[in-house]
């Protein structure tokens, strides 16, 4: 094996470390519904497809590195890929957390649904919205923006610089804050509706304690929550995907 061939193979492997680490936890690609072999094949084919573009930024002087330095480079590339995937995953985790709170506020939290993107079952309303968000991620071709971001990451986080722990934690904290603010904006109509309805039910129960108002009002509370979801679905899905696409293009 010539030195040029060794350099190309090591460069492709380093590209695979970053791409595979990102797709390991990136939204959509990391779903438990996708077999592990398929995810590995996607990461490998993506690495090979990006190799002609990225080899010039990766393979320079790779074969001259000592084994310890090579191990550090592999670990740094894996952590960088995991960070990129986690920054995107945070949006979906924040939305999932607030949707679980919405399901409890509407009285739907005790109904286990079919797990779609996670291994644990979620309430049906949470599973439905998470499935819609994941599907729109691919329907709107935002997964191509993820690939473009991986290519652009070699300009902002070039190989050989090392994994900046302080900068990474700062980015992660800022991303968590922005993601939860976005999720709170999406879930705020349901939370306001729940507070108003439960306050009205509580006052009615005080005025007529001999009538089990809470049990009688539960189906109507659920129906009202579903109506709010029906009329607001288009807006909150667009709001979420707009924020997520903005991060993919500028983050």
For residue 105, pLDDT beyond 80: no
- Number of other CB atoms surrounding residue 218 within 10 Å: 14
For residue 162, pLDDT beyond 80: no
Residue 170's pLDDT is 82
More confident residue, 177 or 225: 177
For residue 3, pLDDT beyond 60: no
For residue 140, pLDDT beyond 70: yes
Cα distances (angstroms) measured from residue 151 to each of 47, 89, 195, 235: 10, 18, 46, 31
Alpha helices in 124-212 (DSSP H): 124-139, 142-156, 165-207
Structure-token pair, residue 142: 């935002």
User: Global pTM?
Assistant: 0.81
Q: Of the spans 31-40, 84-93, 126-135, which averages the highest pLDDT?
A: 84-93
Q: Residue 115's pLDDT band (boundaries 50, 70, 90)?
A: low
Cα distances (angstroms) measured from residue 86 to each of 158, 176, 219: 19, 10, 38
Cα distances (angstroms) measured from residue 102 to each of 3, 60, 68, 197: 59, 51, 50, 14
Residue 163's pLDDT is 65
CB contact at 8 A, 94 and 205 = no
When pLDDT is averaged across residues 123-150 and rounded to a whole number, the result is 82
Residue with token string 């288009």: 234
223 contacts: CB under 8 Å, gap ≥ 6: none
Residue with token string 């791409």: 19
Residue 210's pLDDT is 73
CA angle 63, 66, 71 (to 5 degrees): 95
Output the CA torsion sign for 86, 89, 91, 95. Answer: negative
For residue 62, pLDDT beyond 80: no
Angstrom distance (rounded) from CA 25 to CA 22: 6
């Amino acid at each position: 094996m010539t030195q040029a061939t060794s350099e190309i193979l090591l460069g492709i492997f380093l590209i695979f470390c970053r791409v595979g680490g990102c797709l390991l936890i990136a939204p959509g690609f990391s779903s438990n519904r996708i077999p592990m072999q398929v995810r590995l094949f996607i990461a490998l084919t993506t690495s090979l497809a990006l190799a002609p573009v990225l080899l010039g930024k990766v393979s320079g002087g790779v074969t001259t590195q000592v084994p310890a330095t090579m191990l550090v480079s592999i670990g740094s590339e894996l952590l960088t890929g995991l960070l990129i995937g986690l920054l995107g995953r945070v949006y979906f985790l924040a939305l999932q957390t607030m949707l679980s709170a919405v399901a409890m506020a509407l009285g739907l939290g005790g109904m286990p649904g079919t797990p779609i993107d996670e291994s644990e079952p979620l309430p049906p309303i949470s599973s439905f919205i998470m499935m819609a968000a994941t599907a729109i991620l691919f329907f709107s071709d935002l997964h191509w923006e993820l690939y473009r971001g991986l290519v652009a990451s070699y300009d902002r986080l070039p190989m050989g610089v090392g994994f900046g722990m302080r900068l990474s934690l700062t980015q992660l904290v800022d991303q968590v804050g922005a993601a939860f603010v976005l999720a709170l904006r999406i879930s705020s109509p349901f939370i306001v509706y729940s507070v108003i309805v439960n306050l009205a039910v509580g006052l009615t129960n005080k005025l007529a304690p001999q009538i089990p108002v809470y049990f009688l009002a539960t189906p109507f509370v659920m129906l009202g929550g579903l109506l709010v979801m029906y009329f607001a679905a288009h807006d909150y899905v667009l709001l979420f995907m707009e924020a997520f696409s903005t991060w993919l293009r500028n983050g």
